[in-house]
Amino acid sequence: MDAAVHVLVFPWPRQGHINPMLQFATALVDTGIQVTFLHTEHNLRRFAQAHPPGLRLLSIPDGLPDDHPRGFLAFMESMCTAGSAAYRALLLALLSAADAPVTCVVADGTMPFAIEIPEEFGIPALSFVTHSACSYLAFLSMPKLVELGETPFTADDLVCSVPGMEGFLRRRDLPRGLYCTEQGDGDPLVLKFAEAVGRTSKACALIFNTAASMERPALAHLASGTSDVFAIGPLHARSSSAASPSLWREDDGCMAWLDGHEDRSVVYVSLGSLAVITHEQFTEFLSGLAATGYAFLWVLRPGMVKTTSPALLGEAVGAAEGGKGRVVEWAPQRDVLRHRAVGCFLTHAGWNSTLECAVEGMPMVCWPFFVDQQTNSRFVGAVWKTGLDMKDVCERGVVERTVREVMASNEIRAAAQAMAQQLRLDVAEAGSSSSELERLVRFVRELSV
C-alpha cells in the first residue's frame, strides 16, 4: 500500500452513482493506492452485501430521517446543507490524521460542494461523471441553448448548439426533468444538474466512465476546455466479479428461471433505480410485452408503480407471473445481461445499464425517463444503432412492435456485438481506457506529492 497517496471517493448516494464509483475505487486499490469510500449512514445501513476488499468505508449523515422518501430535490437540499456540513467536518479530520491523511478527493460531479470544499482546504479534487460524456456536454450547453431560444426541449427540431452533435441530436433528446413532463428549460432537476455540471467542470480533472470509442467527438470537445479529461470506462468490464452492493434485495431465483429458457427467448425489463411509472404506463408495457409472445423478466422495485389501486396492480403482476413473465424486486443485472437466454433489454437507458448492455453486446429497446437518459437513448438508436428508441411513446402496440423488431434484427445484434468487441479491446491492457486509467493514476500520484 502506497501510504503517501490517500484518495477519498465520494459518490452521490444513489445506486447508479455508487456502482461506478465503487468500481473506480476498486481499480485504484488494485494499483496500491489507499482509498476511503464515503457513504451516507442511511445507505450503509441498507447495504446487505460486503464491499470489495481493501476499501476503508466511512459514512456521514444525509440529514434526513430513515423513513424519508428522499425525493430528488429534498434529498439534494439536505445533502447540500446537513450532508455538506458533515462532509466538511469529516474532511478536516481526515486531512489532519496522523497516519496517511487524505491527499486527493474524487467526488461525484452531481455535488459541487464535494469538490469545492476540499479545494478550499488546498486539496486537489477531481470530478467523477457517472453519466455519458455526451449528456455532460448537453448539460454544459444548456445555458447557451436557453439563451439562443433552442427550446422547448420537446420539439423534433435538430439542436445546433451542442458541439459535435449537430445533425442527429433533436431537442427532445436533450436532458429532461422528472416523470416525462413537457418541461425542459425550466425544470428544477435539469437546472440543478446543469448548474452542478457548470460548477464541477472547473475541477482539476473530469473522469468519465466511458470509452473513447463510444463518445469520441464529445470527449474531444470537453478536452479542449480547461480541465484534463479521462475516459476510463466501462469500469465494470475490467472485472466480471467486482462486487456491487445493492440497496434492494436481489432475487436469487431468476438465474435458475432463465436457465429453463431457450437461447435469446427472454426480454429483460428494468427501468433502473430511480424511475417511477404510472399504473397506465405499467399496463401498456405489460400488454405490449405479453403480445410479443416472448417470456420476460421484469424488475419492479417496491413502490415503483404509482397506483391508486394496489390490489389491481397485484392482480396484474400475478397474471403476468401466471403467464410467461417473472417479476422481481431487484435482479443481478450484469449476470442477467450475459445469460444466453436473454435476447434484448427493455431499458430506461441509464448510463450504467447502457454500458452493461454494450459490454455484453445485448440489443436494447429504450424508453428513457429523465436527466441523461434521453440523450443516451438517441445515441443507441441513431448513432451506435445497437437498439431502438421508443422515446415519449408508451403504447402497447409500439412496445410490441419495437420489442419484436429488436429481437429479430440481425443488423442491430451485429452492431451491438461489434461494439462489445471494441469495448473489450478498450479495457484490455494497452487499450484506450486502460491507458487512460494508468494516466489518471499517475496524475493522482503527482497531485498527491
Do residues 214 and 237 lie in contact, with contact meaning Cβ atoms separated by under 8 Å?
no
Q: In whole angstroms, how close is the CB of 51 to ligand UDX at the nearest point? A: 15
- DSSP E strands in 293-437: the ranges are 295-299, 305-306, 325-328, 342-347, 364-366, 387-389
Identify the residue among 94, 297, 371, 403 touching ligand UDX (CB under 6 A).
371
Which positions ≥6 away from 314 have C-beta within 8 Å? none
Residue number with CB closer to ligand UDX (34 or 384): 384
CA dihedral sign, ordered 104, 110, 116, 121: negative
Among 36, 201, 273, 402, binds ligand UDX (CB under 6 A): 273
**Is residue 365 a contact point for ligand UDX (CB under 6 A)?**
no
6, 42, 108, 187: the active-site residue? 108
User: Is there binding between residue 200 and ligand UDX (CB under 6 A)?
Assistant: no
Lookup: cell for 198: 457548470
What is the pattern of x (binds ligand UDX, CB under 6 A) and - over residues 111-130? -------------------x
Nearer to ligand UDX, 145 or 189 (CB): 189
131 binds ligand UDX (CB under 6 A): yes
- Contacts of residue 100, defined as CB under 8 A and 6 or more positions apart, other chains included, come to 3, 6, 34
**Out of 127, 270, 377, 432, which residue is the one contacting ligand UDX (CB under 6 A)?**
270
Residue 2 annotated as catalytic: no
Q: Is 187 in the site for ligand UDX (CB under 6 A)?
A: no
C-alpha cell at 389: 428508441
CB atoms within 10 A of CB 57: 11
Least distance to ligand UDX from the beta carbon of 248, Å? Answer: 7
**Cβ-based neighbours of 275, under 8 Å, separated by 6 or more:** 304, 348, 369, 370
**Beta partners for residue 240, in sequence order:** none
Q: Which residue, among 270, 257, 241, 237, has the nearest Cα to 361 in the 3D structure?
A: 237
* N-terminal to C-terminal alpha carbon distance within the chain: 16
Cα dist. 301→162, 263, 273, 328, 329 in Å? 35, 26, 8, 8, 5
Q: What is 88-135 written as a DSSP string?
A: HHHHHHHHS-SSS---EEEEETT-HHHHHHHHHTT--EEEEE-S-HHH
Give the x-and-dash track for 3-22 against ligand UDX (CB under 6 A): ------------xxx-x---
CA torsion angle 399 402 405 409 (round to 10)? -130
Pick from 108, 173, 215, 372: which binds ligand UDX (CB under 6 A)? 372
Nearer of residues 179 and 401 to ligand UDX, judged by Cβ? 179
| Count of residues near ligand UDX by CB under 6 A | 24
Q: Which stretch binds ligand UDX (CB under 6 A): 167-175, 178-186, 266-274, 316-324?
A: 266-274
Shortest distance, position 111 Cβ to ligand UDX, whole Å: 13
> x-or-dash pattern for ligand UDX, window 233-262, by CB under 6 A?
-------------x----------------
Verify binding: residue 351, ligand UDX, rule CB under 6 A.
yes
- Kindly state the smallest distance separating residue 180's Cβ from ligand UDX, in Å: 13
Determine whether 108 is an active site residue.
Answer: yes
Beta carbon nearer to ligand UDX, 78 or 246:
246
Instruction: Out of 123, 162, 331, 380, name the contact with ligand UDX by CB under 6 A.
Output: 331
- Best CA proximity match to 133, nearest among 225, 22, 204: 225
C-alpha to C-alpha distances, 311 to 279, 316, 396, nearest whole angstrom:
12, 9, 22
Catalytic residues: 17, 108
Summarize as ranges the residues that interact with ligand UDX (CB under 6 A).
Answer: 15-17, 19, 130-131, 246, 270, 272-274, 299, 330-331, 333-334, 350-353, 356, 371-373
